[in-house]
Structure 1
Amino acid sequence: MKKIFLVLAGLLLLMAQPVLAAKGKVRMAYVEWDCALASTMVAKAALEQMGYEVETLPVAAAAMWQALGTGNVDASVAAWLPNTHADYLARLQDKVERVSIVTGGAKLGWAVPSYVTISSIEELNAHADRFNNEIIGIDPGAGLMRLSEQAIADYGLQLELVDGSGATMTAALANALKNKQWIVVTGWTPHWMFGKWDLKYLDDPKGVLGGEEQIETVVRQGLKTDMPEVYTFFSNFGWDSAEQLQMVMAWNQEGGTPEENAHRFLKEHPETVNRWMSR
């Protein structure tokens, strides 16, 4: 009898707890750039607050777009348009939908410390030895790397593009700055490194690396029908200012996990979050 009583008591206790049944599962893909990580984790936290289970998948740009095109993921808040990811969009434009602008003022380029005395990509060959005959890049699947290869060809550069990741690029940059060495890296804005260090973009007179861009939210076709509330959320999603995104990126560098900092943003900026969730 005592065992039966304990079992019944346990069942009653469970029944008394609020049931937080997930409304469904949302899958998001993103490229492993710091700005994409910050936006994705904040969107994930907001969707979870709405009652959804959210899976995030860090992948290369080509895989991100392919997953959107096949419907294997529902959305990405990391599409660089109209230039960097233009080829992917052109191939999949009838299978995906552009629904919001995450942030404007985005830019790709090659960055150097401010103490480097050249100002243009056209000057790199004349000082190649000071740069160790290298341009420090990121992951080989990134659109920035594809454009950088094109820039090397178009400018006839004798420097080698070294692939790696966003983390290895910033580590190499930090080491060069510490030792006052010359270095050129593949860079982009928004990025926390421009707030932490004194850097400048090299001029790109041929425009190979593109002009100003925007980061957009792209969703799979059919999301509006399958998950209308999620579709509305992504249609509303976007930072109120570039400074908001830069702030979250800085938090991620200063401490705490991206997930913890995402929840911090939700707590400290309820007006922005409520806008995303409004119908």
Structure 2
Amino acid sequence: MKLKTLSKLGMALGLGLMLAACNGGDTGSGSGKDSNSKEVNLAYVEWDTEIASTNVVGQVLEDLGYEVTLTPLDNAIMWEAVSKGEADGMVAAWLPHTHADQYDKYSADLDELGENLAGAKIGLVVPQYMDVNSIEDLTNEADQTITGIEPGAGITAATEKALEDYENLADWSLVTSSSGAMTTSLDKALKNNEEIIVTGWSPHWKFAKYELKYLEDPKGSYGGEETINTFARKGLKEDLPDVHTVLDNFHWTPEDMESVMSEITDGKDPKDAAKDWIAANPDKVEEWTKDVAK
């Protein structure tokens, strides 16, 4: 069976039609699947962290005999898709701060399965060589520009809040683009020993590749330590109990995630990187699948 990845959809309507087709045409809170179904749709945000985790979980399910579709979506649409039963689950929810708005809006219509990774963090990140250690210390660095990622991302909303919280950032601007464009800009600035301030999060491969540091956030605009969490659509436990079990049991460490991210960053296909990690960590995978009906 082939692990498939859908092209990113630009409009929620198109997304709904496509996911409804994958789920048998039902756009309600359940997919209409029965326990004999072998089709699974996992939604995720195209961040390096979630590309790694979703590919690993997807590959584990494929190894169990499921036909798995991975659907990359904008953050808010991901939450909505799972809440409406248009996708079966996600392992990409950053809480309690980054996705707080989406959690408040959609969690009542979701099956909350708990954290799958602890020790996550978001904030403003700079090269170690920059002579600044706190957001409050910023004056005219990097042309008073913060290089961000997607407009709908939780870290983007947190950065917009920081621009309001810190008086010294009153004249600063946030430039949004994508996580890939952000890391490209970071790489270029580091090679030229230039100033740059980016919206950053960890786990992330950039902290292993580059000498970086978080700026202190005394006003707490970015919140504290976070966890990455798993959610499933309502009814998944009844429709696909083994899939629900794997999602519920899935848990790994920042080091696990970073090892997969590093391989992907070095050019390996995400599916192949997931296979490599699974092959090297059979004991952890066994913990996720031990309760699956054999």
Fold-level similarity (TM above 0.5): yes
Counterpart residue number, 1:86: 100
Counterpart residue number, 2:157: 146
1:78-227 equivalences in 2 (<5 Å): 78-124=92-138, 126=139, 128=140, 130-156=141-167, 157=169, 158-227=171-240
1:197-276 equivalences in 2 (<5 Å): 197-239=210-252, 241-276=253-288
Provide Cα deviations, 1:219-247, integer angstroms capped at 9, x if missing partner: 111111111111111010111x3211111
Distance 1:144 1:119 in 2: 19
Which sits farther off after the overlay, 53-62 or 22-31? 22-31
Provide Cα deviations, 1:31-59, integer angstroms capped at 9, x if missing partner: 11101100000011100000111111111
Unaligned runs of 5+ in 1: 1-21
Larger gyration radius, structure 1 or structure 2: 1
Task: Provide the secondary structure at the position in 2 that maps to 1:72.
Answer: coil
Provide Cα deviations, 1:56-80, integer angstroms capped at 9, x if missing partner: 1111110010101111001101000
Contact kept, 8 Å, 1:23 with 1:53, in 2: the verdict is no
Distance 1:244 1:28 in 2: 20
Counterpart residue number, 1:11: none
Q: CA RMSD in A?
A: 1.1
1:42-57 equivalences in 2 (<5 Å): 42-57=56-71
Counterpart residue number, 1:16: none
How many Å apart are 1:23 and its aligned residue?
4.5
2:71 counterpart of 1:71: no
Distance 2:132 2:268 in 1: 37
Contact kept, 8 Å, 1:47 with 1:54, in 2: the verdict is yes
Unaligned runs of 5+ in 2: 1-35
Task: Provide the secondary structure at the position in 1 that maps to 2:152.
Answer: coil
Counterpart residue number, 1:14: none
Q: Counterpart amino acid of 1:244?
A: D
Contact kept, 8 Å, 2:82 with 2:89, in 1: the verdict is yes
Give the percent of matched residue pairs that are identical in Structure 1 and Structure 2. Answer: 44
Q: TM-score, normalised by structure 2?
A: 0.84
How many Å apart are 1:92 and its aligned residue?
1.5
Distance 2:107 2:54 in 1: 22
How many Å apart are 1:255 and its aligned residue?
2.6
Provide Cα deviations, 1:219-278, integer angstroms capped at 9, x if missing partner: 111111111111111010111x32111111111112310011111112121111111111
Provide Cα deviations, 1:78-105, integer angstroms capped at 9, x if missing partner: 0001111111111122211221322100
Contact kept, 8 Å, 1:101 with 1:217, in 2: the verdict is yes
Aligned residues: 254
Q: Counterpart amino acid of 1:101?
A: E
Contact kept, 8 Å, 1:23 with 1:51, in 2: the verdict is no
Contact kept, 8 Å, 1:131 with 1:183, in 2: the verdict is yes
Distance 2:203 2:282 in 1: 23
Distance 1:97 1:116 in 2: 44
Contact kept, 8 Å, 1:71 with 1:221, in 2: the verdict is yes
How many Å apart are 1:110 and its aligned residue?
0.3
Q: TM-score, normalised by structure 1?
A: 0.89
Distance 2:107 2:122 in 1: 23
Contact kept, 8 Å, 2:146 with 2:175, in 1: the verdict is yes
Task: Provide the secondary structure at the position in 2 that maps to 1:206.
Answer: coil
Contact kept, 8 Å, 2:37 with 2:240, in 1: the verdict is no
